[in-house]
Amino acid sequence: MNVTVIGAGSFGTALSLVLSDNGHRVRMWSHLEEIASEINKHKENTVFLPEVPLPNSITATHLYEEAFEAAELVLTAVPTQVTREVWQNAKKHLPEKALVISATKGIEQGTHKLVSDILIDEMGENNKERLLFLSGPSFAKEVARKVPTLVTIAGYNKENIKEAQSIFRNHYFRAYGTNDVIGVELGGSLKNIIALACGISDGLGMGHNSRSALMTRGLAEIVRLGNAMGANPMTFMGLAGLGDLILTCTGDLSRNRSVGFQLGMGKKLDDILKNMRMVAEGVTTTESAYELSKIMKVEMPITEYAYEILYKNRSPADTMKEMMSRKMKFEDED
């Protein structure tokens, strides 16, 4: 099968390796010509996934027309905030019958739309059936090392979900299927906010008790927003919910946890982001989710406190103290 991967970041590269291992021909698209040239010349993505050799079945280009040539499957793995711009250009070259799988996790700023909404906006409602969404606990470096990894693929068409499952399946990568697109997308997006909060807690020198509490109450507010938006609550108990939440809040490879940790240590957000080449989706998702929670009238205190630290320059230490002084509640209250 001819596969196009839009986005030559760490996750796009790692998933390209999975698809290549499964016998598919992969052409990656990068917005940077130098990244594409390096992949072709040195068979390595030294910027986003260094020290991982790429096989000859993976090539790269910075041109849309070359990337989409004869594509039967398209995987999109660009940051949320540039997804709309990229697809405004990419859709012109999309083959008529190619499946499209998104591996992007976030909520668009300003519109508060999920990636599924962005792609439907750009591709049209008539293309909805061929859209799929991959999410779950899957650090790119570990996928590239062929560490056993389980994810979820959501979609609107059951047969297309099954096809995508079989395309990705091998001895180290396995995908479960679901029709709950909203739940899978929200789980993958909102866990980054909770990972930021856990990183802040760790950076402040809090312990395992604090991190566990943040993860648990964080999951509660993810479920609340999910319920308000029509997701299946059980999705948040699965790989795209609890599974990804655990990984991102505890794993040392988590970019969002790392940003939070540095905030907790007293660094300024601008300085942290200035030194990062890869995107920590949780930073922009926090703003979008905070605004969305107000629109939907859903209480999300951890998200609100994270927003105030990131965008209102509140002290992480003072914020943590205020969280502990909130009104007493029963655990099953909203």
pLDDT number for residue 127: 95
pLDDT in tens, 149-170: 999 999 999 999 999 999 999 9
What mean pLDDT value characterizes the chain?
96
Distance between alpha carbon 268 and the CA centroid of its chain, in Å? 24
Say whether pLDDT at 333 is over 90.
no
Say whether pLDDT at 269 is over 80.
yes
pTM for this structure?
0.96
Q: How far apart, in whole angstroms, are the C-alpha atoms of residue 257 and residue 107?
A: 18
Assign 280 a pLDDT band (cuts: 50, 70, 90).
confident
Provide the residue ranges of all domains of the chain, joining segments of one domain with +: 2-179, 189-324
Q: What sign does the dihedral 313-201-195-260 (CA atoms) show?
A: positive
CA-based max dimension of the chain: 60
Beta bridge partners of 175: 151
Mean local confidence (pLDDT), 182-193: 98
Mean local confidence (pLDDT), 44-73: 96
Mean local confidence (pLDDT), 302-327: 93
pLDDT number for residue 279: 77
Contacts of 303 (CB under 8 A, 6+ apart): 190, 193, 221, 286, 289, 290, 293
pLDDT in tens, 98-143: 999 999 999 999 999 999 999 999 999 999 999 999 999 999 999 9
The CB-based long-range contact list for 29-33 (8 Å cut-off, 24+ gap) reads 29/4, 29/5, 29/60, 29/61, 29/62, 29/63, 29/64, 29/67, 29/90, 30/60, 30/61, 30/62, 31/62, 31/86, 32/8, 32/62, 33/62
Q: How far apart, in whole angstroms, are the C-alpha atoms of residue 43 and residue 25?
A: 14
Write phi, then psi, for 283 (nearest 5 degrees): -65, -50
pLDDT number for residue 201: 97
Distance between alpha carbon 248 and the CA centroid of its chain, in Å? 10
User: b vs e for 225-240, b when ≥16 Cβ sit within 10 Å of the residue's Cβ?
Assistant: bbbeeebbeebbebbb
Q: How far apart, in whole angstroms, are the C-alpha atoms of residue 38 and residue 63?
A: 15
Distance between alpha carbon 183 and the CA centroid of its chain, in Å? 13
- Domain 189-324 matching CATH 1.10.1040.10: the answer reads yes
User: Residue 174 burial by CB count (10 A; 0-12/13-18/19+): exposed, middle or buried?
Assistant: middle
pLDDT number for residue 75: 98
What CATH homologous superfamily does 2-179 map to? NAD(P)-binding Rossmann-like Domain (3.40.50.720)
Using only C-alpha atoms, the chain has a radius of gyration, in whole angstroms, of 19
Mean local confidence (pLDDT), 199-207: 96
pLDDT number for residue 250: 97
- Give me the active site residues, please: 191
pLDDT in tens, 223-262: 999 999 999 999 999 999 999 999 999 999 999 999 999 9
Say whether pLDDT at 276 is over 90.
no
pLDDT number for residue 277: 79
* Tokens describing residue 136: 């779950």
Say whether pLDDT at 148 is over 90.
yes
pLDDT in tens, 10-32: 999 999 999 999 999 999 999 99
Say whether pLDDT at 278 is over 80.
no
Write out the E strands in the chain. 2-6, 25-29, 58-61, 73-76, 99-102, 131-135, 149-155, 173-178
